Structure 1
Amino acid sequence: MKVLKVVDKIILKIEEFILSYAVIIIALMVVGKAIIRETFGYSLPFADEVSQIAVVIATFMGISYAARKGRHISMSAFYDLAPFKARKVLAIFIPFVTAIVLFVLSYYSWLYVMDVRESGRVTSALQMPAFYLYIFIPIGFLLGGIQFLRNMWVNIRNREDVYLGTDAKDYNDQDTTEELEGTHL
């Protein structure tokens, strides 16, 4: 069990590294391209492509990170109004279904990546194999599916609280006075 926690921490650090540098690259490419175009009247031909790659990486590698932190998109109107037991059941069922969907998407996106690889397509500006751009999609779906299974397991194991992510308790269960005390100067 200790080995799994170490592996989990390593994966978290890798995700944080990848996500933070992808966002930095997006900012540098977009702002840099605009500044260079206005200053020199010339646009970097590779800037759009690098930005696109960074957006794909940030989007799909961010699935797992968002699931871990409980920051994924959710429609929570009924969930928020539900009593504890119903929220607990939903906190087990929803991550399970989501994990299944992500694993299926991972499989089909992997088939697509292999199809792109076999086609020999290259990107227009950088002339790199196009499948490098898409390889992060099945990896992101797979890691996201694993993380949602972990979220489900945390809710099965811990009967006293509802967790939105392995690192995030349900905001409905948090004491609002604790949150408010920390926000005042």
Structure 2
Amino acid sequence: MKLFKLIDKAILKLEEFILSYAVIIIALMVVGKALSRALFNYSPPFADEVSQICIVVATFLGISFAARKGRHISMSAFYDLAPFKVRKILAIFIPVVTAIFLFILTYYSSLYVLDVYNSGRVTPALEMPAYYLYIFIPIGFLLGGIQFLRNAWINIKDREYVYLGTDAKDYNDEEKRDVNEEIHL
């Protein structure tokens, strides 16, 4: 179990590092391109391509990070009003279904990356193999699927709280616990 926790911590640090620098590079490329065009009437041809690569990396590697932190997009109007037991069931069912879809998308995006690899395509400005850009898509789907399974597992394992992510308890439970603590004080 310690090995899994060590791997999980390493993946979290790697995700944080990659996502942080991807966002910084996007900002530098967009601002740099605008300034370069305004000041020198020149736009570096690689800026759009580097930005595109970073957007793909941030988007697809961000799936796992958002799932871990419970920050993924959710339609929670009915969920928020539901009693604890219903929310607990949904907190198990929804991540399992989401993980299944992400694993299916992992499979199909892997086939696409393999097709791009076999085609020998390169990017126009940097002339790097195009599959370098797309390889992050199945990796992101796979890590996201694993993370959603972990979210389901923590909700199965811990019967006291509902977890939106492995690192995030349901805010509905937190609010109720805060109110109960105030009443007991």
TM exceeding 0.5: yes
How many matched pairs? 179
**Given the alignment of the two structures, is residue 133 of structure 1 paired with residue 140 of structure 2, yes or no?**
no
- The aligned counterpart of 1:148 is 148
Secondary structure of 2:172 counterpart: coil
Deviations 1:105-124 (A, max 9, x none): 00000000000010111100
- The aligned counterpart of 1:73 is 73
Q: State the percentage of identical aligned residues.
A: 77
- The aligned counterpart of 2:182 is none
- The aligned counterpart of 1:87 is 87
Distance in 2 of aligned mates of 1:62 and 1:87? 25
**Given the alignment of the two structures, is residue 56 of structure 1 paired with residue 64 of structure 2, yes or no?**
no
- The aligned counterpart of 2:32 is 32
Distance in 1 of aligned mates of 2:14 and 2:177? 35
Q: In the TM superposition, what is the alpha-carbon distance from 1:140 to its structure 2 partner?
A: 0.1
Deviations 1:65-113 (A, max 9, x none): 0000000000011101110000000000000000000000000000000
Q: In the TM superposition, what is the alpha-carbon distance from 1:3 to its structure 2 partner?
A: 1.0
Give unmatched runs, 5+ long, in structure 2.
180-185
Q: In the TM superposition, what is the alpha-carbon distance from 1:175 to its structure 2 partner?
A: 2.7
Cα RMSD of the aligned pairs, angstroms, is: 1.2
- The aligned counterpart of 2:113 is 113
TM-score (norm 1): 0.95
Q: Which runs of 4+ in 1 moved over 3 A?
A: 176-179
Q: In the TM superposition, what is the alpha-carbon distance from 1:130 to its structure 2 partner?
A: 0.5
TM-score (norm 2): 0.95
Distance in 2 of aligned mates of 1:161 and 1:178? 14
Give unmatched runs, 5+ long, in structure 1.
180-185
Distance in 2 of aligned mates of 1:69 and 1:156? 18
For 1:167, give the aligned amino acid: D
Deviations 1:119-161 (A, max 9, x none): 1111000000100000000000000000000000000000000
- The aligned counterpart of 1:164 is 164
Q: In the TM superposition, what is the alpha-carbon distance from 1:176 to its structure 2 partner?
A: 6.5
For 1:158, give the aligned amino acid: D
- The aligned counterpart of 1:183 is none
